[in-house]
Structure 1
Amino acid sequence: MGGMHFLWWIFWVAIVVGFAWALWGRPGDARGGTAARETPLELLRRRLASGECTPEEYEKRKALLERDRTAGP
């Protein structure tokens, strides 16, 4: 009988966690997480600022991104 009581507690905790997940989203999710989705250009700027790419690489990739954006459908 005690096992059934324990299973009901697990059931209700799972329901509450499921509602919280649906309302606030996962961490990093644009709906309610810590970081909104970055555009490719913002990501490239952040990589330049953190030193992950050189200014030359930044300029080449920026030109590619701008070319692709203007050549879109």
Structure 2
Amino acid sequence: MLSALVPATATTVVTHPYWHGGGGPGFGWWVVFPILWFLLFASIVFLVARGARRRWQSGAAYGPPWARGNQTAIGVLGERYARGEIDEAEYRARLEVLTRQP
């Protein structure tokens, strides 16, 4: 009866592996599993974000404005001016024609 109440001694820990109740492993495995869960969660977030970005860049009608394309007449005129295809005077003249009220 007394032996059941006595804690494990060094001899018990050495002679019985940890899976038989004789102490734990030397490395803290409790640290590894939260890291693995974090990596799994981060991978899922990364893959979902990458898929959404690819959908936006495919030319679909939804997504952020910079990925939708600027296909209005004023937008095309602005892009041509930004690329240097037309000068400021021509840009302003064409913009006036486009924005004129009938």
**Which band: TM-score by shorter chain?**
0.3 to 0.5
Report the TM-score when normalising by structure 2. 0.35
Larger RCO (CA under 8 A, 6+ residues apart): 1
